[in-house]
A and B are shown apart, each in its own frame.
Chain A
Amino acid sequence: MSEHHIVTPKTYLKNLAVLMVLMALTIIAAKWPVLHISQTVNLAMALTIAVAKMMCIILIFMHVKFSSRLVMVFASAGFFWLIILLTLTFCDYASRFWHSPTAVSPYLG
């Protein structure tokens, strides 16, 4: 069998610990009133932590850190295309009522 990288239990355990800490952080960031800055900032914090957790899982648990470049490209392709979908759709929703400032937007008003 061609050699797949063997990741040690110690690395897995460390990764689990980091994931648990990040989970605690995301709850604190959302529920601790001191950190209630604005919806946007809170969303950004939540998403940043979620992305960090995702990277921990992908890189360590899913071995991407130890895989070929081709696997890295394949692993990122879905996310890249997802960003296209989100960005261009938001282009529409963000600008849908720009040209009629007097009209009350049913969405953003």
Chain B
Amino acid sequence: MLTKRIIPCLDIKDGRTVKGVNFVDLRDAGDPVELATQYALEQADELVFLDISATEQKRKTLADLVLRVAAAIDIPFTVGGGISSIADVEVLLKNGADKVSINSAAVKNPDLINELALQFGSQCVVVAIDAKQIENQWKVHLVGGKVPTELDLFEWAKEVESRGAGEILFTSMNHDGTKQGFANHALAQLSETINIPIIASGGAGNVSHFIDTFKEGKADAALAASVFHFGEISIPELKNELKQQQIAVRIETL
């Protein structure tokens, strides 16, 4: 049976993890490679690296990091953050990224989705959508949720699917950072609207939030950052709880 995926997200700036991490076993908590290795050992199903640096060196630093991550871990990973061209994607995939995630660039230039799917295959094209619910309408936002657009979340998701995206990473700006649970109502509606996998993001605070997003939100995967980085939720314990709730998860015995 296909299992639900648990995905830690690492924010990266200039090749280092940004938000503080509180991992007992790490020699260098700022080293994304070491953190990634630890998560792979804990049986995280996938990783997302979100690059938020804005330097001229950005592309090269990120490409180098991807290469080092690919050398170290044997689970899939996605790279996102400021990716806006075929050339950007090509170097990341060549260096060992499994998928790339595009966000603002897809809204500004939707043809990019088609071009990437055609050139590299839908399986490596993740479209990240940040949306905020305003007066009962979910509107797509850009620049990390700061800039509103007129795009409706569900319409945009449909368009993204038809253009060849292989997966959607949906972050609810209303829930992100609240630790009050994922946007399950919108997630369930998304699942009815489109037929590609959906990663739920924004709002994870405790184990039952994950149970709810898989059961009520019908999410295929759930992404979180701080609850994992600060050890508030351990991935093995989370997976055991999910299993108790009859949710299919990957638990490998050594």
A and B: partners?
Answer: no
Interface residues of A (CB under 8 A from B): none
